[in-house]
Amino acid sequence: MLRIIDARTGEAVEAAPARRGLTRVEAHVVGGDTGALRVLLVADLLVRALELGGTPVWGVASGGPQSAALRAGAAALGIRPLEDSRDVGSGLGEAQIIHVVAEGGTEPDGVRVTVAPTTGTPEDADPSVLRLALLSRHRGAVAPLDAAALAEARATLVRWRRAVATWAQQPSRPIPEEARTRLRTAWEDDLDTPAVLRVLTWVESAAELPDGARFETYAYADRLLGLDLTRDLGSPS
């Protein structure tokens, strides 16, 4: 069960407290910089994590009309479109509403997930590289987006995509139960994406795992991460 830290109380709460009850994830976006994109990304991750857990979930955005540049940036980052809260009214009788806000925000009332700011101004960064750089820091920690952080993310993404393409050439094998458990434990603990990435690093190098199992594990984790790790399947080595 996904549990997140409510910024109002500092206590962990269940993101889906009612069995099969609808959870609404509402991103509160102000401005159009990379910090706003990070708020949208965290909302996207919450939606994905809840879907993976079998929870009905509804993603919306509020804070006024989003700029065309912000919408384009969100789409490039693989953030799925959120409905405009002005168009959806009071909702559909949600069992839980989770508000995703920039750090320092005190509104609205209710379960509130805060997102720390970013530093640096990435120019012409590959969107997948930028997404991985953001995922490499917990949402509550400042995310540096300088040249070094982006270079590290780029190298990791290139290596993983090539590895996934190579592993896909071997017979498929089930996801090892230890890998599945470690992944879910990571993302269900306050959406700890850096811990998810550490599990993938372990899967990459664990000598006892067959390549077919590595492939299936990465494809499964990418349902949360949204890094298009299978993009190079069928490409020349």
Asked whether residue 75 is assigned to any structural domain, the reply reads yes
User: 115, 134, 161: which is the final residue of a domain?
Assistant: 115
Residues 65 and 168 in one domain: no
Same domain for 160 and 62:
no
Q: List, for residues 98-140, the tens digit of each pLDDT value.
A: 999 999 876 777 899 999 999 987 888 899 999 999 999 999 9
Other CB atoms within 10 Å distance of the CB of residue 87 = 7
Q: Which of 97, 115, 133 is the last residue of a domain?
A: 115
Per-residue pLDDT reduced to its tens digit, 190-205: 999 999 999 999 999 9
Amino acid at 107: E
- In angstroms, the CA 32 to CA 44 distance is 17
Whose structure tokens read 């805060």?
114
Residues 29 and 97 in one domain: yes
For residue 119, the cross-strand partners are 144
| Within a domain: 189 | yes
Query: Average model confidence (pLDDT) for the chain?
Result: 91
Give residue 165's domain range: 150-225
Domain of 174: which CATH number?
1.20.120
pLDDT tens column, 23-64: 999 999 988 889 999 999 999 999 999 999 999 999 999 876
What's this model's pTM, rounded to 2 decimal places?
Answer: 0.93
Side-chain-side CA neighbours of 161 within 13 Å: the count stands at 21
From 183, 169, 190, 186, select the one nearest 221 (Cα to Cα). 183
First-to-last alpha carbon distance for the chain, in angstroms, is 39
> Do 170 and 214 have their domain in common?
yes
Name the domain count of the chain.
Answer: 2
Task: Please work out, in degrees rounded to the nearest 5, the angle formed at the alpha carbon of residue 164 by the alpha carbons of 150 and 183.
Answer: 75
Residues 102 and 187 reside in one and the same domain: no
Residue 134 lies in a domain: no
Question: Are 25 and 81 in a shared domain?
Answer: yes
Does any domain span residue 143?
A: no
Residue 33 and residue 91 in one domain: yes
